[in-house]
Structure 1
Amino acid sequence: MKVDYSSITRENMLYDINILLNTYDFQTSNIYDRSCFDILARRDDILIILKIYKNIDSLTQTQAEELSKVAGTFLASPIIIGLKSKHNYLEEDVVYERYELPVISPQTLCNIIANEIHPEILSKRGGYYVKVNGELLKQMREKYNLSLKELADLSHVSRETIYKYEQGNSQTYPETLLMLEEILNTNLAVDINLFESDYYKSLDRKIKEPRELIKLGYDVKSSNKTPFDAISERKLENKKLNKLKEKLDNTLLEVEKLKSEVNKQRVRNNILITNMERKRNEKKLNQIAEQTRDIAEITQNEALFVLEDSKDKKTIKKVPSIYTWELKDMDNFEDLIKLIKERKKEVEDS
């Protein structure tokens, strides 16, 4: 039966995707449709950041760059969900690209989450491509006692092409891969796991406020298209971070373990979702606080307000408020983290 996509609205898509995520044990944020992302979702160590469009051509380069940087800051996996492009509807189990971000249909997302079926086909300029499992290809070729040239002749490609496939996870046309799979009687395609985050860009528009946080060793990076003002990230010793990156690059067998270690070093007690007073009224501060608390809970980071006026507010909607005079009296970031936790505990105990 043909599906009538014309009756589906973006609001329908947002609602259905949120239900899907919750059904399969993802903790989801509120929906932020005026942000560079719509939904943050976490399940165990998986953190994804979604932007939903009916027409994916609505995504601008500026929005994509901001989404990529926010994802990199939180070590999340950014995914664009859409029904169609200007000319065609998106195909099921195919990954498209827009501004270097992965784009999939709602049904593909459902297949991944509900059935753990990851797509294998990547749509790029020039057509469809699949990644070849080079190690398995070589193993099966040798099992069948085929030389590089013999396998190349059977699959109608060059010897150099087969050699290139075996040296790494190269891309080829689906038709070529199917022919190789028929010859070697095995599945050689590599799944595209969109939940594995390779986004290490971070917000880079540094601002010079609040000065008190900067004095404690934080880089304060602003974001124009998010429900919060900035991300404050504590600077790590370069030697330690560089050593981790070097291991990550050189030790393929320990990639997942090192990613987890880098994650802990970068995120734990290093990132603060930061908001400033900026002469906002109480209603606006409460609204920002609710959004910030929601995002902090999903991303498992701390959040705070930095206030200048003397308003005896230790928290705003359960988000700790730290005054600039308090920050001036601190000598290091441990004092700040301790005060944030004390403020949160006072709310929990009250």
Structure 2
Amino acid sequence: MIPESSQRENLLERAAGLLEALGFSVARQLTPSCFDLLARDGDTIFLLKILSNVDSLTEEQSIDLRRVSNVIGASPMLIGESARGETMMEHTVYERYNIACVSFKTFENALSEHHFPFVYSKKGGFYSHLNTDYLRKLMQKNNISAGALAREAGISKSSLLNYERGQGASIENIERLQEALGDLVLDPIDVFRFEEESPELSGGISKIEKVVESHFGDIGFRTAAVTKASFSLVGRSKKDIIFTGLKSKSLEKRAKDIRESSKVLGQHGMFVLKKTEERQVSGVPVLGEQEFQETVTSKQLLKLLRELEEVD
């Protein structure tokens, strides 16, 4: 049996290779993070978590993944091989904490061929969304009422009415309807626009995070605090994004992650530390806490970061 860590690494390499082959710029994370790959091609941005078993995603990781995605305008996604002890089915979307989870093949089909899946998995089985316009036209063509169709298909009228309103239908009930009415049209699921609700951007944060987050707000940035990433905060002001590290532990590795992530987006990264004598680490500017608080506009902060990025 292949170790799960080896399976995950192989999956990660395949995902990164596919993205790069399709023209995406890709940043891989060295430190444990809520995401493993950040990829961008023009305005399309992906934040991908790679796990052999998608059930191992924690709620904390999912919250951080969604927070970062919300701020930088990315599509969060989980790519895996198994779910609930079974091999993930192709052309099927799974879900963990409101994040789309797909097999590598499903991801590849959606990304390179624009072939989106029609089936999604949830507790109780597999479901699809009927194309309601086509369903109504077919009912009119056959001159059959909702009640009569429901009786002939052996499902409840309330279920059929819910399907007409856009609610998902079980594969079993879809098959019953097709036996009674003929072939139906299913709506594809855009796995890149899967998330339906935005996460709260605030969470339990440390004292220095509160200070930095507050000042970011003062100079026009909205921010998200995260715990499972090489950075502690990500801030955005209009088109400008800053990945901000606040921890000095494993500084070199964190700096490389922040540098590569900001490079892929054409944006900026920095560290804000209580005490520091360094001006940059691996190309990432380092600011003292007081120095950061002395910046009075986003323009001034960005100018300072550009200057420090050029320091040898």
Q: Structure 2-normalised TM-score? A: 0.81
Question: How far, CA to CA, are the matches of 2:51 and 2:248 in structure 1?
Answer: 34
Is contact 1:49-1:76 (8 Å) kept? yes
Is contact 2:93-2:191 (8 Å) kept? no
Residue 196, structure 1, aligned to residue 198, structure 2: no
Question: How far, CA to CA, are the matches of 2:176 and 2:31 in structure 1?
Answer: 45
Counterpart selection for 2:228 from 212, 225, 230: 225
Question: How far, CA to CA, are the matches of 1:6 and 1:329 in structure 2?
Answer: 51
Is contact 1:181-1:188 (8 Å) kept? no
Counterpart selection for 2:210 from 208, 211, 222: 208
Deviation at 1:292, TM superposition (A): 0.6
Deviation at 1:146, TM superposition (A): 3.4
Q: Structure 1: which 5+ runs fail to align?
A: 235-264
Residue 9, structure 1, aligned to residue 7, structure 2: yes
Deviation at 1:163, TM superposition (A): 2.7
> Where does structure 1 differ by over 6 angstroms across 4 or more consecutive aligned residues?
4-8
SS for the counterpart of 2:80 is strand
Question: How far, CA to CA, are the matches of 2:270 and 2:304 in structure 1?
Answer: 11
Change (3 A) 1:327 1:5: closer
Change (3 A) 1:17 1:327: closer
Change (3 A) 1:132 1:27: same
Change (3 A) 1:310 1:319: closer
Structure 2 match to 1:261: none
Structure 2 letter corresponding to 1:192: I
SS for the counterpart of 1:209 is helix
Cα distance per residue 1:242-287 (max 9 Å; x no partner)? xxxxxxxxxxxxxxxxxxxxxxx5xx23x421123x556xxx4443
Q: Structure 2: which 5+ runs fail to align?
A: none
Residue 274, structure 1, aligned to residue 244, structure 2: yes
Structure 2 letter corresponding to 1:100: N
1:241-280 counterparts in 2 under 5 A?
Answer: 268-269=239-240, 271-276=241-246
Deviation at 1:329, TM superposition (A): 4.1
Structure 2 match to 1:257: none
1:65-80 counterparts in 2 under 5 A?
Answer: 65-80=63-78
Deviation at 1:44, TM superposition (A): 3.1
Structure 2 match to 1:305: 271
Question: How far, CA to CA, are the matches of 1:5 and 1:109 in structure 2?
Answer: 22
Of 332-341 and 4-13, deviating more is: 4-13
Q: Structure 1-normalised TM-score? A: 0.74
SS for the counterpart of 1:28 is strand
Is contact 1:108-1:119 (8 Å) kept? yes
Is contact 1:122-1:130 (8 Å) kept? yes
Counterpart selection for 2:101 from 84, 93, 103: 103
Q: Percent identity?
A: 28
SS for the counterpart of 2:188 is coil
Counterpart selection for 2:134 from 136, 152, 155: 136
Of 25-34 and 287-296, deviating more is: 25-34
What root-mean-square deviation, in Å, do the aligned CA atoms of Structure 1 and Structure 2 show?
Answer: 3.2
Deviation at 1:213, TM superposition (A): 4.0
Question: How far, CA to CA, are the matches of 1:233 and 1:56 in structure 2?
Answer: 30
Question: How far, CA to CA, are the matches of 2:293 and 2:98 in structure 1?
Answer: 42
Cα distance per residue 1:184-203 (max 9 Å; x no partner)? 65542111111115352144
Question: How far, CA to CA, are the matches of 1:221 and 1:97 in structure 2?
Answer: 23
Is contact 1:27-1:298 (8 Å) kept? yes
Counterpart selection for 1:294 from 233, 253, 260: 260
Change (3 A) 1:215 1:161: closer
Deviation at 1:75, TM superposition (A): 3.1
Instruction: Count residues in correspondence.
Output: 305
Of 315-324 and 92-101, deviating more is: 315-324
Change (3 A) 1:186 1:334: farther
Deviation at 1:139, TM superposition (A): 3.3
Question: How far, CA to CA, are the matches of 1:5 and 1:321 in structure 2?
Answer: 42
Change (3 A) 1:76 1:312: closer
Is contact 2:231-2:243 (8 Å) kept? yes
Structure 2 letter corresponding to 1:195: F
Residue 332, structure 1, aligned to residue 297, structure 2: yes
